[in-house]
Structure formats: structure tokens, C-alpha cells
Structure 1
Amino acid sequence: MSQNMYDFTLRKTMIFLEDIYHEGGPEAEAPRQRGAILAVVNNPFAGRYQPELQPAMDALKPLGLMMTDKLIAAMGGIEGIDGYGKAAMAGEDGELEHAALWHVPGGYSMRERLGEARAIVPSAMKVGGVGTRIDIPLGHINAAYVRSHFDAIEVGLPDAPRAGELMFALAMARGPRVHHRMGGLAVEDVKGEDGLR
């Protein structure tokens, strides 16, 4: 089956942006920014079991790149973006493996646009009904052991995912958690060679 044989028709997108100035302590030198973009698409596999799903990932790559570009633009450009994550949710007639279609197109689109992004892209998946929310995990783009960047941003839409839909999400962050003080690998000590340290 060619990639254009899959009907992932896009219904809507939504962008979430937040700037965090403090968490009860002193105001941060620079606010931490977190952003996420959601896309709601038709699920061509809803209501049936499809043994072979992997080829459909290629059909979603343009969506991943479009979402990445829109989120970077909304966040004011690539400069300083040092955290990322992804998530996906299948509606009630879908299954977890349909949400897993997002692994390659979601992760690699951000890696492609963010340059030297070496760390694994944290990921969450679930099946849920309309209005179900999901936490998108966040981690440092070059080193998974940077504790100051462990975080999550919760997102959801009041009208999605419908039973025959998929909801895909990407998230990015600029800077560490406000008032981070849990030690671990410091950003300035990242070697960026193996995606861990």
C-alpha cells in the first residue's frame, strides 16, 4: 500500500503556549516557556484489526514536519529550545498501536528541525474518548540524564479524539524547570555524544 492510500485527513490543530515566571519562589531570570501542538486526524484503521501498520508511518511524516514548524514559529524561533516530547491518543474505535504510529513521524520531525538533538524523545500513548487529556513528557534534547528538564505538559481538546480519530501531539520547552534544584547532570556539562550524557 502506498502512503497516499492512508486517509489521515486533518480535522484541526491547536497550539498551547505558556511562560512560567516562578513556582512560589523568586522570579526566574528568564521565564521557562513550554509549548505544544495537537493535530486531530482521521484514523484509517479504526474499528478493525490491521496486521501491518508500519508503512503508514511514512504517510504521517509531512504532518510531523508541519506541526514542528508551526510550534517552533509559535515559540518565536528555534533559539534556546532545549526540551522536547511527544504523545498520541487513539479514539475509542482505535488501539494503542494506532497511537504508536506517531513514534517515527513525531520524533524524527523534531530531531530534523532542532539540529543536534541526540536524546530519545520522551513519549506517551493512550486510548481515550472525547475530551480525554494526556501528559506529554519532556526531556532535554541532547542528554536524557539532565534532571532539570524532566517535566510534562498536559494537553487535551474538548471535542477530540472522536471514536474514529487519532490525536497527535508534539511539545517543546525552552529552559529548565523554574527553581530546579534536584542535582544530576548540569546542562553546561552535557557532552551530547550518546543521547544520555
Structure 2
Amino acid sequence: MNNIEIRKVVTLAEEIYHEGGPPPDEPLRRAAILTVIRNPFAGRFVEDIAWFMKDLEPLGADMARRLVLMLGGGPATIQGYGKGAIVGSAGELEHGALWHVPGGYAMRDALGEAKAIVPSTKKVGGVGARLDVPLTHVNASYVRSHFDAMEVGVADGPRADEIVLVLVMSTGARIHHRLGGLAASEIQGKDGLR
């Protein structure tokens, strides 16, 4: 991976059995992979940074592949996804935006036929900063039951000259979803929205 200096990789996994109501037949599984890299632009303003997106592509592909394996069952079991970045204090928000294309397309490629845009969030934060990564359905962003988020973070990162890159996937809707809207069974899959 050109120009990528990885300090550590952190993985998180959750199995949610209920939220106070009756347990579902299968628990909701959510998982995240966070990679802490050195920010090559930290501490200075650099006009041309877009080239770094290409360098991040192999990392995105590896992270997405590992995340699918963590959740088990292969790409067909993944129903939700999202991405995010936490930029250390010597960087700027735009450095986190570099993750939009390599992180999002990596997940869509790993899942094969995913049609929905991958929701995202980013921020500049100090060591131990937490990030709520949004999730939506992989094929239709308007599926209300899959509007979700997973809180992530790295205890000792990002350091000032680092970026934490995040991918999150889930195997289904929120436990006890009951607010109506477009159901996953009604997806037409034409435009990534409905």
C-alpha cells in the first residue's frame, strides 16, 4: 500500500439480542474495522491531496473484505453499511473526506450488488475521540428500519498526526424497528434510494 503507514487495526463486533422487547429469531450483528494511519498532510496545508485517495484503495478493499469475514455468512448476509474518519488535531476535516471514495467503493465492491450510497461522517478529534458512524440499507437508502449507527473509537488514537479510517457493516434492521416506511422487502433496487 503506497504511502500508507499503518500503526494499528482495531475490530469491534456486537450481537444485539433485544432492546427491552422480545428477542428476535436472530440477533442483529454489527461490526466495525478501524485502521489508524499516519496523516501525510498533518501540520501543514497541502493544496493537492486528492492523489492520496488512490493510495487508500487497497486498504479500503482489505478492510471491507475483513469486515465481511468478521460477520460471517458472506456478502449476502450484509444488509447495512457506513463509513467514517477521525482526523487527528494536526490535520483538517478534508483529510477525512479522502476516505469517501476508497472506503465506500471498497464496501460496495466487496458486497457485489450494493446500490445505495454509503453514508458517512467525519470529524477532527483528539486521542480517544468517538464517532457515531451512520448505517443505511445497502440497496436502498430510504429503508427506514435500517437507519442506524455504531459508535466507534480507538483508545490511543488518533494522535495529532494520524487518521482513523472506519468501515461498519450490519446484518439487518434495528432490533424492534416498528416505525413504518419503505420495508426491505419492498426494495425495487433501481436507484439506490428505493
Q: Report the TM range for the smaller structure's normalisation.
A: over 0.9
Aligned to 2:54: 58
Distance 1:107 1:73 in 2: 17
Letter of the structure 1 residue corresponding to residue 8 of structure 2: K
Distance 2:86 2:153 in 1: 10
Letter of the structure 1 residue corresponding to residue 65 of structure 2: D
> Would you say the 8 A contact 2:17–2:28 is kept in 1?
yes
Aligned to 1:40: 36
Cα distance, 1:80 vs structure 2 = 1.4
Distance 2:67 2:176 in 1: 25
Moved over 4 A (4+): none
- Could you tell me which of 8, 11, 17 is aligned with 1:12? 8
- Alignment of 1:195 onto 2:188: no
Q: What do you get for the CA RMSD once the two structures are aligned? A: 1.0
Taking structure 2 as the reference length, what is the TM-score of the superposition?
A: 0.97
Distance 1:137 1:148 in 2: 13
Cα distance, 1:54 vs structure 2 = 1.0
Distance 1:188 1:64 in 2: 29
Q: Please list, as runs of the form range in 1=range in 2, the aligned pairs for 1:80-99 lying within 5 A after superposition.
A: 80-99=77-96
The CA deviation string for residues 41-68 of structure 1, in whole angstroms up to 9 with x for no partner, is 0100000001111111000000001101
Unaligned runs of 5+ in 1: none
Q: Please list, as runs of the form range in 1=range in 2, the aligned pairs for 1:61-80 lying within 5 A after superposition.
A: 61-76=57-72, 77-80=74-77
* Equivalent residues, number: 193
Secondary structure of the corresponding residue to residue 179 of structure 1: coil
Percent identical pairs in the alignment equals 56
Unaligned runs of 5+ in 2: none
Q: Please list, as runs of the form range in 1=range in 2, the aligned pairs for 1:120-131 lying within 5 A after superposition.
A: 120-131=117-128
Distance 2:59 2:6 in 1: 9
Taking structure 1 as the reference length, what is the TM-score of the superposition?
A: 0.96
